[in-house]
Chain A
Amino acid sequence: MSDRPLEPMTDYEIKLGRELRAASEHALRSFDATVIARSAAGAAMHHRWAGLLERVRPSRLLVAILLALAVLGATLAIGSGLIDRAPTYRLGHLAYELDGDVWIADADGSHAVKIADGVPDGKMFGAPTWSQDGSTLSVSAYDPALEGGLLGPSVFYQADRDGRRVAADGPVHRPGHCKLPRRRHRGADAVLQPAAKDVDRAMIW
């Protein structure tokens, strides 16, 4: 009944075709067309969702969910002022970090003074550390205006107990990868420990 044009084959091709059909004969199985049709339709029903899940690898999905939860948690914590950490105490004074700012207070928490306010220019301060004699405080900071921004290197600032700058003659510590301030065993001041060899200046504040 077909009106499709036939394409003649050579004798060898006809023989090859016969052999190929014979060779593939044993691959044939009895089948139920209705069952196959139903299962094909059923597979299609699930295809959209299954395809979507296949494209998103489980590990990536998990990482994405964890990241989303972490960001949500951090946002809520910052919004409600929950991040209050790294308290340090010396000679009657506390210093601590709160939401990227640094505060100094008396030992009982009273008379709190914000000495480093990160909000106006987007800096984030942290890791306050007193000098040995308690006269100056070193504070690390991430400055978005500097190279690398918030993900870049830390710079360090120093303040006296009242929150005034210790020195105002410009930066003496170029931004570099610095470790947290360590106290010197002998001597009065907190010492910055630059990890980078090319650090030649410290920013004193």
Chain B
Amino acid sequence: MSTATEGLLPAVVASAASGDEVAFARIVNAHHDDMTRVAYVVCGDVDLAQDAVQAAWAIAWRKLHTLRDPALLRPWLASVAANEARQLIRRRHRRGVVEIAVQPWMADAPITDPGAGARERNLDLINAISQLPPADRTIVAMRFALGLTSAEIGQATGLSAPGVRSRLARALVRLKKDLGDV
């Protein structure tokens, strides 16, 4: 959990919502990495994730005034980034372009690299998550990559907290199985 994230005052959010670019830049500074993580976990592609976050910031600027509770800024931004990532995946599928991403750590890694095991695990994890339904990817990213609570995720995604928990439980079972962690 980022301290910068938690430290943003509601006044900063209100100021940004009313069109203050400097205040908005502070929000960007605090949340950009989180949004990139969420977008990456949802789409599994570094470039797509960057594009998604770029688009998500533009949406956040326009719609920040609709956020009623500044305390929910982080989950709200995460859900915006996740939605953009999902839309980009959909558009890419619609265009019929299928790219097989070669992860940089795999491409550059010599076979005898001592970190190869961890990198393989990373790749397995991202692959396993990509097998989940998009909505589940979003809440897995929000819960585990960002450490948000079920209630926060629920409020940002329109699900109930128990609904989020049951989806998470189901996703975990599947991830464990896919990763051989049973």
Residue ranges of A at the interface with B (Cβ–Cβ < 8 Å): 1-2, 4-7, 12-13, 16-17, 19-24, 26-29, 31, 33-34, 36-41, 43-44, 47
- Determine which of A24, A39, A41, A47 lies in contact with B41 in the assembled complex, contact meaning CB atoms within 8 Å: A24
* CB within 8 Å for A17 and B145 given contacts A24-B37, A29-B50: yes
* CB within 8 Å for A36 and B32 given contacts A20-B144, A27-B37, A28-B37: yes
CA distance A24 to B140 in the complex (A): 13
Cross-chain pairs A/B with CB under 8 angstroms, 30 sampled: A2-B6, A4-B149, A5-B149, A6-B149, A12-B172, A16-B172, A17-B147, A19-B125, A20-B125, A20-B140, A21-B37, A22-B122, A23-B125, A23-B126, A24-B40, A27-B37, A27-B40, A28-B36, A31-B28, A33-B28, A36-B25, A36-B54, A37-B57, A37-B61, A39-B58, A40-B28, A40-B60, A41-B61, A47-B58, A47-B62
Interface residues on chain B, size class:
35 or more
* CB within 8 Å for A41 and B149 given contacts A20-B141, A24-B36, A29-B50: no
Residue ranges of B at the interface with A (Cβ–Cβ < 8 Å): 1, 3, 6-7, 19, 21-22, 24-26, 28-29, 32-33, 36-37, 39-41, 46, 49-50, 54, 57-58, 60-62, 71, 103-105, 118, 121-123, 125-126, 129, 140-141, 143-145, 147, 149-152, 172, 175-176, 181
The answer to whether A33 touches B26 (Cβ under 8 A) is: yes
The answer to whether A33 touches B32 (Cβ under 8 A) is: yes
Task: Quote the shortest CB–CB distance from B159 to chain A (angstroms).
Answer: 15
In the complex, chain A residues whose CB is within 8 Å of the CB of B41: 20, 23-24
In the complex, chain A residues whose CB is within 8 Å of the CB of B58: 39-40, 43-44, 47
